[in-house]
Structure 1
Amino acid sequence: MTSPLSAAPTPQPAGQRERSGGKARFLPPLESPLFTAWPTMRQDLLSWVFLGDLTAVVLPIWVAAICLPWEPLRLLHAFIVGALMVAIAWMAGALGVDVVDQARSGAGRVTLAAAVTAPVALLLAQLLTPQLSALSVLVPLCAQLTLSLLGRYTESRWLRARRTEGRGLRRTLIVMGPGAEPILRDLRSHPADGFLIVGYVSSSTNRSHAAARLGSVEETSAMITSERIDVVMTLGGVSPDDLVTLMRGLTSTGARLVVAPGLQDVVPGRMRGLPVTHGWTGLIDVSLRRTRLLAKEIFDRTAGTVLLVLFSPLLAAAAIAVRLDSPGPAFYRQTRVGQDGAPFTLWKLRSMRTDSDARREAVVKAGGDAGNEVLFKNRTDPRITRVGRFIRRTSIDELPQLINVVRGEMSLVGPRPALPSEVAEYDAEARRRLLVKPGLTGLWQVSGRSDLSWDTTVALDRHYVENRGARLDASIFLSTFKAVVGGKGAY
């Protein structure tokens, strides 16, 4: 029998170099000593996390037994509490597929387990060591939690790094249905997720002739075994009959079935399984975003005021440097487009010469960022001053926008504030960026800023608009510092 993979469009030959995410990756052939099957690597990773959690429990007790005059009952108490914490974390899925296979740390589940264990630790201490204070009881638990998180974070970072090099990948067969292309494109742009697409088959609902049709249960099982497939992923509108064929064909192979629901710009936190028909099947419940606008407004203005006060000495020093470096005012004001298309005056530290607007057309004609169809950027813009290059590189020039945040024209987190000339070129998708206030920082800043293409910029801002909320804002805030220090895309 001929494998359907032989008819797949652009199958991945073993042992070649693949370019993904801008980096060349060497993909060793199956027979190469460099190739490690995913099930083998997964067992190693599970052992790493398992032993790491146990070490996190035992190490503080071992150190205390050697260095501190702890009583045996106190050592026993610390061991029981630590063991209970990791056991709860494991039962909550901290060793599950979505943690190990997807290179996640499982930090949330371990932290939740520690929070559940804390009151148990206090109650148990009353029985074993009643003379200890609450702080003395919880310190060992905090040490165990910290060590567990450190080990898990190290493991997840290691696996993601190896995946960008072409290691630790799951050989993936794609079953194509109508509408699969956008999902497939996004999947290819994130190699750290660990899916190595080795071939395609077409579902019965797909009219494309580029890939062979999905075969019978026996053919599907034989193909998955011979090609050493780790994951079968359905994309687009795959029919229920095809899904039944896949599930039956996968029964004895050890491969996993992953069904992409076709939702775009919906983070996993907004989806949950919903059992129906007495548990005989399930649906995906998607929570609609309900941003607490008043709470966000209060937080933005309060935090913006605090940050403006804290950064005022730095702003004053930077303003003096701008004035000494070149003639003209320290601050630059420009009309931008805010929420619902309302114009406002944006404040920045001046990083260009005073005649920059008049010279813009000449600089544009000379060539800027050719990869971005709407936004103009130039790495070697001659209008930028010496001090301007530094404050752009460190994003200090953006700090006066805290004034706009305090005035309610901007948010701390949101899409990039757009120029009226840019908005005039927006299509319907891009105009969705105007549904929320522009931000001092956002996904565009933590993802590369000026290095991004226009399509990527729109996609990131659309993702923020569709999923905005306190959790996403907090994540962007934490990533902003890394982006500013790295300076990637800042020019």
Structure 2
Amino acid sequence: MVETHTSAPYGRSARTGPQGADAAGVERVAPWWPWYVARLTITDAVAIVVAVGVAYVVRFDSTAAVSGDFSPSYLAVSGVLAVAWLTALAATRSRDRRIIGTGPVEYSRVYSATWRLFAVVAIVAYLLKMDVGRGYLAIAAPLGLAMLLAGRYGWRQWLHRQRDAGRMQLGVVVIGHRQKVDRLIRDLHGSPRAGYTVVGVCIPSGEVAVGETVAGVPVLGSMEDAARIAGTTHASAVAVTGSDAITADTVRRLGWDLEKSHVDLALTLSLVDVAGPRVTMQPVAGLPLMYVDEPQFTGAKYVAKTVFDWTAAAFLVVLLSPVLVVIAAVVASTSRGPVLYAQERIGKDGRHFRMYKFRSMVADAHDRLADVLAAEGVTEVGPFYKPRHDPRITPVGRVLRRYSLDELPQLFNVLRGDMSLVGPRPQIAEEVARYDRTAQRRLRVKPGLTGLWQVSGRSDLSVEAGVRMDVSYVENWTLFNDFLLLARTAKAVLMRNGAY
């Protein structure tokens, strides 16, 4: 069992010895996840009980029973459903320490556990000839799912704040050649919200002497010492990077050494930006082969995305019609020029279309572009360039841009089929002409009102980081991730992250 150090609250690095370090001079990261998982469990239980309770109270009185050959009371059904729901969340490992706090997998498992549970309920009700009220299920399922996701989101935001402060980290021992170890350490420490702190390094014998450091982390021994070092540093995982010296037999023996230690064995791969659904592990002749499916850009899921886009856009146009009218009136009354600004953009597979926005600049903005570039000292405009201080923007336009209200007319582009709610942002022909092979992948799907780039920093991100995010979205998207990106978009707009 991994030892818990109560002197390090919230998983802060605990140290012993006169200089705050143990005999090896290594930070010990106290495990924080048991009590964090316990709080997640309590929050999940409260959400489920409330959802089932509301469905019961709204739809039935205390004596109501399910009709059919088998007719238990709805109170009993509610109790069984609540227990089964909590069991399903545990069975799908939705509170696994390796997925909580980062990425969409945690949310995806909550969603998967919920819809599968209610699918089983429907099947059981049919087999037992139970006529469970549709209204009861129609309240319990969506309300419970919404509350579960809201609870997980709230705890994740709290966890992010703790990790930003250097707490709530999982200790990792890294094994491999110096260059690859250095890169992995910098990647992990450059993303504190991922929740990993490298507490020690093991290098093949003869590369680096024990006591030296790699990227600021001490070398504690050779690869043969990894299991022992993971125990002495109370690490949660051992990460193995690619190395000629690390053979299949070496990794297997390391796995044996880590048995019953509650320390995970993780193997890093050079393959990046490939999501789990495209990866299949298959043992062949005793070797684990990883198959990577090619990205799909047609099929049933794209039909579902199109239906969702059109339905959601139509609903939003109706809902926001008063806002659209007010914005149009304000734009028309405060500056000279048309209310809408239309510009030709490049869409899916290089098709041209006219994209609409509320006009946020003066009428002669295009003629003044050279002056703006000269003022910013820009001699050549590359792809994705956007002036940070653009005097052509009107006072009303600045407010519209700050909250992304100028983008609302693109809902009509979605209704026309030119755009999607979520996808890479569309660009003009001159910018697309400068695309390299990587950026060209952005054109494999419809452009979107929002996307992974926009919710991850928008204009504050570098071009390289933004393109990588867009390509990752294009090749790995799911409808569930679209829902998450839309939710993150609302937060990014309210926080005005990277908007100018």
Q: Please give the TM-score of this superposition, normalised by the length of structure 2.
A: 0.74
Q: Which amino acid aligns with 2:40?
A: V
The answer to whether structure 1 residue 269 and structure 2 residue 277 are counterparts is: yes
Alpha-carbon distance, 1:449 to partner: 1.6
1:274 is paired with a residue whose SS is strand
Alpha-carbon distance, 1:196 to partner: 1.0
- Superposition map of 1:337-352 within 5 A: 337-352=346-361
- Superposition map of 1:284-433 within 5 A: 284-292=290-298, 295=303, 296=305, 300=309, 304=313, 307-308=316-317, 311-367=320-376, 374-433=383-442
The answer to whether structure 1 residue 47 and structure 2 residue 38 are counterparts is: yes
1:334 and 1:345 in contact (8 A); partners too: yes
The answer to whether structure 1 residue 257 and structure 2 residue 257 are counterparts is: no
The answer to whether structure 1 residue 215 and structure 2 residue 222 are counterparts is: yes
* Equivalent in the alignment of 2:114: 111
Alpha-carbon distance, 1:291 to partner: 2.9
* Equivalent in the alignment of 2:162: 162
- Distance across 1 between alignment mates of 2:340 and 2:391: 19
- Distance across 1 between alignment mates of 2:436 and 2:52: 61
1:332 and 1:349 in contact (8 A); partners too: yes
* Equivalent in the alignment of 1:173: 173
2:424 and 2:442 in contact (8 A); partners too: yes
Alpha-carbon distance, 1:389 to partner: 0.7
Alpha-carbon distance, 1:48 to partner: 2.4
Alpha-carbon distance, 1:145 to partner: 6.5
1:332 and 1:350 in contact (8 A); partners too: yes
* Equivalent in the alignment of 1:18: none
* Equivalent in the alignment of 2:4: none
1:364 and 1:376 in contact (8 A); partners too: no
2:93 is paired with a residue whose SS is helix
What whole-Å deviation, never above 9, does each CA across 1:175-203 have from its counterpart, x for those lacking one? Answer: 24687777666544432221112343446
Q: Which amino acid aligns with 2:248?
A: P
What whole-Å deviation, never above 9, does each CA across 1:330-349 have from its counterpart, x for those lacking one? Answer: 22233333334444433222
Q: 1:156 to 1:109 in 2, by over 3 A?
A: farther
Q: Which amino acid aligns with 1:432?
A: R
1:291 and 1:469 in contact (8 A); partners too: no
1:93 is paired with a residue whose SS is coil
- Distance across 1 between alignment mates of 2:326 and 2:146: 39
- Distance across 2 between alignment mates of 1:255 and 1:120: 40
* Equivalent in the alignment of 2:8: none
2:12 and 2:29 in contact (8 A); partners too: no
- Distance across 2 between alignment mates of 1:302 and 1:56: 29
Q: 1:367 to 1:28 in 2, by over 3 A?
A: farther
- Distance across 2 between alignment mates of 1:300 and 1:146: 21
- Distance across 2 between alignment mates of 1:452 and 1:38: 31
The answer to whether structure 1 residue 30 and structure 2 residue 15 are counterparts is: yes
Q: 1:27 to 1:378 in 2, by over 3 A?
A: farther
| Structure 2, gaps ≥5 residues long | 1-10, 65-71
- Distance across 2 between alignment mates of 1:432 and 1:145: 34
* Equivalent in the alignment of 1:194: 195
- Distance across 1 between alignment mates of 2:378 and 2:183: 25
* Equivalent in the alignment of 1:458: 467
2:356 is paired with a residue whose SS is strand
The answer to whether structure 1 residue 90 and structure 2 residue 98 are counterparts is: no
Q: Which amino acid aligns with 2:114?
A: T
Q: Which amino acid aligns with 2:39?
A: W
| Structure 1, gaps ≥5 residues long | 1-25
- Distance across 2 between alignment mates of 1:41 and 1:316: 52
Alpha-carbon distance, 1:174 to partner: 2.2
Q: Which amino acid aligns with 2:348?
A: Q
1:94 is paired with a residue whose SS is coil
Match among 197, 211, 234 for residue 228 of structure 1: 234
Of residues 347-356 and 139-148 in structure 1, the stretch that sits farther from structure 2 once superposed is 139-148
Q: Which amino acid aligns with 1:49?
A: L
